[in-house]
A and B are shown apart, each in its own frame.
Chain A
Amino acid sequence: MRFSRGFAIGLLASAAALASMPALAVDGQTMIITGEDYTKWLWGNQHTDGSVYNFTTVPGEGYGDNGQGTEIDLLISSHPSKNIEVTGRLQSRFNQNQWTNYAGFGGRNPALENPPNGECLGGDCGEFDPRSNEYIKIRGLTARFTPGFKWLDAATIGSTDLGMFDPYTIGKIRYIDRDNAKAILFQGPLGSRQLTYDLIRVSLPRLFAGPNFNTGDYAGQDGAYGLQLKFNPSSFFDIVGVYDRVRDVEVSAKDTGNNGGDDGRDLDSRFKNDVYGGRFGIHPSSKFDFRGLYYYSTAESNPKFGTPTGFGLSGFSPALAGEVSDPLYKANVDLNDPFGIGLSFNIEYFNIGAQYSSILAARREVDVLLTEGHDGAFVFPGPDNSAFGVFAGNPTRIGYGGWEGPAQQVATISVDNEFTDFEEPMAETVIGWKGITVAPNWTIGDLDLSGEYSHIGYNTNWQAWGDTSRGITDSIYPNFESDAGVNSFRNAYAPFQDKKTDIAILRGKYLLNVGKGVDVFGKIKLIKETDNRLNEARFLPYQPGDCPGGGVACSNNAQNFSPGHSTADLYGNPPVITVNGVTGYQWKPFNSLSDDDRDLDYKLFQLGAGYQVTGNLYSSLTYERYNVDLQDGNTAFQAYNLHSMSSGQNDKNKLILYAHYTFGAAEFGANYEYNWGTFDPDFGGGFVTQFADANIARDYGVPVGSPGFKGRFGGWNSLDKRDFKQHRLKVFMKVRF
């Protein structure tokens, strides 16, 4: 712990220095209190009301598309001395504070129930749950000292959103949590102002910043240390170096003598994460800009403290198991109107290692890549955006419409889309991505044209998780919801992958000279994504000819790809069944390399218009049409046995009506969406179609007698063509006071 001790000495020295600085009282010191009333109305035809947010995957938290809620945000600032500024924020929590709670009185008391501690949803626990009793919470308190030293501009103690580093190392905290991180931060010049530093010690969030989304039992000393050096020698060149050191420690399990009372107790590492590197820019002229960055990360989880040594097929953790390391690097070239005709180009090369790990990297509300990436309209494996899996009792959360717009890209698998509404951007992980994006944009009078072509390969293209010495259900990679379906937001890994993605986009915006001017806009987006997944015959689960067909049972002679390991652990053979006189396999035996092939042909057409109706009111209407032809394996693959299959034709339509109105210090916004479409499944052949009985019909919401098939784990995949209709509305009011 040399670094910590050195840092502590530095802290003491700085504290002593601060103690000696002038503390001049400011005459007429005032404390300024401002605030905001934020009120939100949600309505939707899913008719869920678990909380005043559309989406979460956090167990025990509610989600909903109906309800009304209000929160107050009080911002306080004061200068108690010339060199000291204190700012704070008090806020009521939003989650389940629906207006229908009648200010949170009464309600269920889960502590007195039998069994106790049942989930509180939709505010039904009233005053017995902090998410529904309208309590006010301290959200931020920061003291900032500006002592006037040559080497120290400011020392900041308390809340910070960590916005001074970058999204690859210590990333900015999302807006609603912007004051949650607590830190000690020093900033200033080193010699001349051409070289400046940011030095920080952040307490590690025990809520998520470690293996299995926690930092173990002993959290008091868990922290991240960051040093950023910025050097701006000239307008031609600038460079920034960053070192980020995360230490999650526990009390050593070995140090048990006298409970450690005699000579204290030793500490041991639970999780270590180091990221170092830098970024630079070369700016020779206004026409040309070059920027590059390189970071290298190492991470190590210690299984002595319960961190996973491996994950099954669907692990959930923001940290990989064991000891991992990988780089991340990017290069950007900007050509600004090189021909003098308003045509500019942005070009980006990116390469993000499969094991690149920065536990404090930005989790949302940033965009680390130039590419637009995927869209939020299809997320999670099921075509109906089912929450997780192919099993019963698994209703959709965000709903058929998904999120609006394209995804933001983040350099972590710890992606955070929790507590969001449908009109907010969705974030997706880019761990493992490598490729190039070329993005031209051209302004011709009132016409703006822009576009993109991206080719993406993957550092995660491998067979058997890239390590044939381990079993197929024993990986160091947590893969969350898996890669089945149109897309998933936090899945970076798959057991077998041979994938490439091409994205082409053309956007246009034109100011039509009618009335006050009509903004006409549109977009065409094409994604072609193929993944051969399992691509070597030695990885097929069973010996050739194992399932001869003709109603003959499979022999079940598994094929090992390495001693003791076979994909038969995942892709078991089907039983022979007879349905309505037809005898055959319950699902297609996995006996061909093409059984799990993925081929995504994705098209988006968007057209819209916006108009400034009055000085205070802007409104727009947008129509989007999605045609998604997806082959995502057949019944042999079964979406890893876990998820609802989505092979087939998905047609989705979105009609979006948006309005924004300003009235003095108040702002109102409204977003209404109508989503409708169809999913026409095509799971291939080679199996006997079954028909839903009364139990399946009840559990899966399908008609009795409708066709489908039952998978390895008992989940039902319907073969019926499905129709979807989803209405939803969000209205907000913000009043600053």
Chain B
Amino acid sequence: MSKKFWKLGATAAAGLLIAGSALAQSGVSFKDPANDDNGPGSYTYPTDGVYKRGSFDMTAFDVKVSGKKVDFAVTFNTALEDPWRMGGGFSVQMVFIAIRTGAEGGFKDGPPGTNVTFADGNEWNKMVILSPQGPGKVKSEVDAKMAAAQGGAVIIPTRVKGAGRTISASVDLDQLGGGDPSQWGYQVLVQSNEGFPDGKDLLTRKVNEYEGQHRFGGGTDSDCDPHVIDILAGNGTGAADEAQMQHDMLKYECNPDGSRKSGAALKMVSAKK
């Protein structure tokens, strides 16, 4: 092939790159330590072969503002796969992005099935759900399983994409109430997409005492344990001690009857001022 062809190709590629980077105007990025995909420290993956090492190990969370859009991206410690042919480039992951914008108030309870609460002053008032299920399915689950006020604060992106190691989606800044997302607080709950969820669970996979083919292990058979596998902690820098902070945040105790004695109280993570 001619030199002209290659020159043209290189110029076009460079142009695309510049155009791509120019789209990202502002935002905030967080890191999360690798290998802390064990909830409060004891959780283990289901035994089916589709749950590959690192599938629920979040390593980065990025928020970028592009014009009137806000792009969310969650990166994992393994290449994404789509073994269940969901069509979006990933299958087993499910991510809840809890946001505390500048607005007052919010919700202390996490999404149904996660069994987490948010600490005082860390309530969420917007939540973006990144699911491989279609938006219609997610919306019907939200309508059926979340209180109306909570459900009204949930934003379901029209499309969620998995590529490489990253799950990403965009929503309108207006849907988030406007403002500057770089100043907000965030918490990211990593769960697993469950096509056959328990009656009250919002497409989430259970954590049991022992891992099963499609259930996480290392928790309890009752619902007093937090059903999240990885979250942000500390300042979201990815420092090694953030794994311990995560374990502390997700620490729980159960009563003999299986009800919760004390449980996870999550804190938001925000950009260091």
Contacts and interface: CB of A to CB of B under 8 A. Distances in A.
Interface stretch (B110-118, B119-127, B155-163): B155-163
B151 interface: no
Interface of A (DSSP majority class): strand
Interface in B1-49: 16-17, 19-20, 23, 34-35, 44, 47-49
B213 interface: yes
Given A164-B47, A425-B85, A664-B144, A146 B209 contact: yes
Interface stretch (A387-395, A443-451, A646-654): A443-451
B17 A336 contact: no
The interface centre, meaning the residue of A193, A283, A445, A519 with most chain B CB atoms within 10 A of its CB, is A445
Interface stretch (A211-219, A341-349, A487-495, A575-583): A341-349
A511 B164 contact: no
Interface of B (DSSP majority class): loop
Interface string A326-351: 00000000101100011010100000
A537 to B, nearest CB: 39
Given A163-B49, A164-B48, A153 B211 contact: yes
Interface stretch (A60-68, A375-383, A584-592, A612-620): A612-620
A525 interface: no
Given A146-B209, A166-B49, A336-B79, A441 B139 contact: no
Interface in A187-222: 187, 193, 198
A663 B77 CA distance: 35
B213 A665 contact: no
Interface residues of B, number: 45
Interface string A258-288: 0000000000000000000000010100100
Nearest to B163: A443
Nearest to B197: A736
B47 A342 contact: no
B255 interface: no
A14 to B, nearest CB: 15
Interface string A417-448: 00000000100000000000000010111011
A289 B47 contact: no
B19 A616 contact: no
Contacts of A444: 16-17, 19-20
B139 A286 contact: no
A369 interface: no
Nearest to A408: B85
A732 interface: no
B59 A612 contact: no
B134 A660 contact: yes
B49 A511 contact: no
B79 A448 contact: no
Interface residues of A, number: 60
B261 interface: no
A477 B264 CA distance: 60
Interface string B194-222: 00100100000000011111000100010
Contacts of A663: 140
B59 A615 contact: no
A141 to B, nearest CB: 15
A506 B158 CA distance: 26
Contacts of A516: 158
A447 B85 CA distance: 21
Interface string A161-187: 101111100001000000000000001
B163 A617 contact: no
Interface in A236-272: 238
22 contacts: A75-B196, A153-B210, A153-B211, A164-B213, A165-B49, A172-B48, A198-B47, A238-B53, A336-B165, A337-B165, A346-B79, A425-B85, A443-B164, A443-B166, A445-B19, A445-B23, A447-B16, A618-B134, A618-B136, A662-B140, A663-B140, A667-B137
- Across chains A and B, which 6 residue pairs bring their CB atoms closest together, nearest first? A662-B136, A616-B136, A445-B20, A163-B48, A153-B210, A444-B20
